[in-house]
Amino acid sequence: MWRIVCLMLFLLSGCVSLNTPNSYQYLIFEVPAGANQLSPILNSEYQEGAFEMIPLNKKLEAEGDTMRVWVEHFAPGSSLNENEARFADALMMCYPDHLPGWAINKHVFPWHEGQIYLYTLSEDIVVVSTERIDTFDLVLLAKRRSG
């Protein structure tokens, strides 16, 4: 199973635009403290919180410094936790097109309209995508069933 995940990471890593009808872009990050710290954030009542991550290139090498990222469940008409968002180096939330101008520039996909998707691929690697990645969904489902 791990070989499939590694192969997918190798083939699909980095910020890539595919020229297909289901074209999407995604980014890969290392979460030094472990991706498991995202579960309490995403499963909390408010679905918001901060963590540190490092952007990776397609060789899974660091492409920058460690950043403080603010994650928040956000939808059109919602209010942004501005104190936390201003303090963060980067933002990761749906509907960046509805954020205030200063916050759009901090978003990992500042040009995107709509939802984003977060995939935990290993203990310390996450993928953020502009669309659902069916292949990742299948691998994660198989991983849950076998684990």
Q: Are 104 and 116 in contact (CB under 8 A)?
A: no
pLDDT confidence of residue 109: 95
Cα-Cα-Cα-Cα dihedral sign, residues 8, 62, 143, 92:
negative
Upper half-sphere CA count for residue 49 (Cβ side, 13 Å): 13
For range 85-112, the mean pLDDT: 95
Mean pLDDT of the chain: 79
Is 60 exceeded by the pLDDT of residue 140?
no
Q: Which residue type, as a one-letter code, is found at position 11?
A: L
pLDDT confidence of residue 20: 36
Query: Token pair for residue 24?
Result: 């999407």
pLDDT confidence of residue 21: 41
Q: What is the pLDDT of residues 51-84, one digit of tens each?
A: 999 999 888 889 999 999 999 989 999 899 999 9
Q: Which residues have CB under 8 Å from 67's CB, separation 6+?
A: 52, 53, 54, 55, 88, 89, 90
What are the Cα distances from residue 125, in Å, to 19, 95, 96, 97, 103? 25, 23, 23, 26, 25
Q: Confidence band (pLDDT; 50, 70, 90) for 15?
A: very low
pTM of the prediction?
Answer: 0.74
Helices (H), 30-131: 38-42, 82-87, 101-104
